Amino acid sequence: MHARNDDRGQAVALLLAVVVMAALGLVAVGLFGERIVDRGRAQTAADAAALAATIGGYSAAARLAADNGAQLVSFSEAGDTVTVVVDVDGERATARATDGP
């Protein structure tokens, strides 16, 4: 008499589930990874533009934003504090810098 093996094929199903989950993870990284990179680029561009603006005003902010692959969306000065908003491929970032102490 042979023992029944009701577990036959379950290892294949488990392996398939693991492969599908790994594939979904890679797709998620592909979809959201670029957005995360763009967000970082936008923040870097905003920081650089705000710092440049404390010395060179609007034109320096626009130039530094463009040098970092961004577009200057808004610029405001309040006393010695400058606030800029930049856009990189749909991702916006804001930065403030001051020329004072």
In this predicted structure, what is the pLDDT of residue 45? Answer: 96
Tokens of 56: 């060179």
pTM for this prediction? 0.69
> Tens digit of pLDDT per residue, the chain (101 long)?
555 556 666 777 788 888 889 888 888 877 778 888 889 999 999 999 999 999 999 999 999 999 999 999 999 999 999 999 999 989 999 999 998 77
Cα separation of 18 and 80, whole Å?
A: 56
| Calculated CA dihedral for residues 65, 71, 74, 79, nearest 10 degrees | 10
Domain 10-98 falls under CATH 3.30.450: no
Domain ranges of the chain: 10-98
Please give the DSSP secondary-structure letter assigned to residue 3.
P
In this predicted structure, what is the pLDDT of residue 7? Answer: 61
Please give the DSSP secondary-structure letter assigned to residue 96.
E
Cα separation of 86 and 98, whole Å?
A: 17
